[in-house]
Amino acid sequence: MSAKRKSYSADFKAKLVLEVLEGEKTINEIASKYEVIPLSLKNWKKQFMENMSLAFDKSTVVKEYKDEIEILQKSNDDLAKKVGNLIVEKDFLEGKLVSLASSKERKTLVDAKLNISLNKQCRLLHLSKSSLYYIPTKPFSSNHDLKVLDAINNIYSDFPSYGSRRIHSQLLRDGYSVGKKFVKKAMKYMGIEALYPKPKTTTANKEHYKYPYLLKDFRDYAGRVVIENVNQVWSTDITYIKLEKGFVYLAAIIDWHSKKILSWKLSNTMDISLVKTVLNEALAFYPKPEIFNTDQGSQYTSKAHVEILQKHNIKISMDGKGRATDNICIERFWRSIKYEEIYLNEYKNIKALNRAIEIYMNKYNKKRLHSAIGYKTPNEIYYQTANNLDSRGEKLLPEVS
């Protein structure tokens, strides 16, 4: 007999999403704590971020019906107007119910105690009556399958570099009788894949417009990009960092000329909110750049990110496909922070890692001598150029943690 499918309330989902947004634990840690699948937790966060505006702006929900209502008011008499309004309201509620609630959620609204027949309730809720009694067979729902999924999750948490074949071998060693295809399908269902040698932090969206690479106009005779002024070109990127349980993502913005890190943020998910936060923080504390360079990742080509740059009249530049060297400035910084800090230490949680990165960023900007800028610190170059002062002038501009 198949196991009953788990159902989570809206309050439970909201509680977990808020814990994810706090950024104190990784997705895997939170999922393990509440016994949910990491992929479900990521989807709940995505749904929450996409629907936040509905709490403050109700006008967008009814805009589509204004024209229809105005036509009915002009062409019909008082009785027709009342009937028309009732039809519009009924269609509005039914349409929104169908669009905002899944069929499973709509099933919970059916009440046999009401004076309305079940047939009519199903018709109003856009449900098939047979669906009230049908229990679908969900993939990986048996007790055995759930135990295997839990075992796969534990193996993956300990060895995130394992692919389906290694996990299959480990399952056999642990006494589970499963096939290779089963493990492969299970990993796809759980939304996990091998993270070695590195997870893919650049995923392009074919529907988004890709901007040309503008820094090629600044190359010297040797093909190197040479930027002569601060705030002329900023670059940004995302890298991953492995913790004891799971991965986190670090995003940063660097001034190409001075090598100064202008803003950064650590997150347990790699999404649009991460890159928007870093960009808005840099623009809040420093003069805007002429050019902003990124890769072709979907976070950077998204409408939300592009609109921020367009609002500030900043030229958008993007690396060529597969051309990591086009953004070499930030790539070299990733190498520096990983070899000088991250690879030398172990971090038990996000809080410890965040504190370590904060200390490193402060040391990097203020004390670390950089060979590419004449063995001076990034702050010396940035503030001396921006204020026409010596290195002490850095105190006149705000610092970014």
How many angstroms separate the CA atoms of 262 and 285, rounded? 8
Residues 91 and 148 reside in one and the same domain: no
Would you say residue 199 lies in a domain?
A: no
Q: Looking at the structure, tell me whether residues 107 and 166 fall in a common domain.
A: no
Asked if the structure places residue 201 within a domain, the reply is no
pLDDT score of 382 more than 80: yes
Q: Identify the domain boundary among 90, 111, 132.
A: 132
pLDDT of residue 257: 92
Task: Please indicate, yes or no, whether residues 118 and 183 belong to a single structural domain of this protein.
Answer: no
Residue at 175 is within a domain: yes
- 49 pLDDT higher than 70: yes
Least confident of 27-41, 184-198, 289-303: 184-198
For residues 126-146, b (16+ Cβ closer than 10 Å) or e, as one string?
A: ebeeeeeeeeeeeebeeeebe
Q: CA end-to-end span of the chain, whole Å?
A: 56
Query: Are 220 and 243 members of one domain?
Result: yes
Q: Is residue 293 part of a domain?
A: yes
- 317 and 340 both lie in a single domain: yes
Q: Is residue 250 situated within a structural domain?
A: yes
76 has pLDDT over 70: no
pLDDT digits (tens, 9 = 90+) for 275-284: 999 999 999 9
Domain around 266: 215-396
203 within domain boundaries: no
Within this chain, do residues 155 and 98 fall inside the same structural domain, yes or no?
Answer: no
**Res. 87 pLDDT band, cuts 50 70 90:** low
Report how far residue 355's alpha carbon sits from residue 352's, in angstroms, rounded to the nearest whole number.
5
Predicted confidence (pLDDT) per residue in 330-380, tens digit = 888 988 898 888 888 888 889 999 999 999 999 999 998 888 888 889 999
Same domain, 106 and 153: no
Same structural domain, 50 and 70 = yes
Instruction: Give the chain's radius of gyration (CA, Å).
Output: 27
Query: Are 227 and 291 part of one and the same domain?
Result: yes
53-57, 163-167, 302-306: which range is least confident on average?
53-57
Does the pTM exceed 0.85?
no
Question: DSSP assignment, residue 319?
Answer: P
Helices (H), 200-315: 272-285, 298-301, 303-311
Please state the domain count of the chain. 3
**Higher-pLDDT residue of 193, 164:** 164
In a domain, 137, yes or no: no
Does the pLDDT of residue 69 top 80, yes or no? no
**244 and 360 housed in the same domain:** yes
Q: How high is the pLDDT of residue 42?
A: 86
CATH number at residue 245: 3.30.420.10
* 8 A C-beta contact, residue 297 and residue 201: yes
Confidence band of 192 (pLDDT split at 50, 70, 90) = confident
Instruction: Tell whether 232 and 331 lie within a shared domain.
Output: yes
Q: Using an 8 Å Cβ cutoff, are 229 and 245 in contact?
A: no
Examine the domain organization and report whether 42 and 123 are in the same domain.
yes
Average pLDDT, the chain: 79
Task: Tell me the angle at which helices 164-173 and 143-158 cross, rounded to the nearest 10 degrees.
Answer: 110
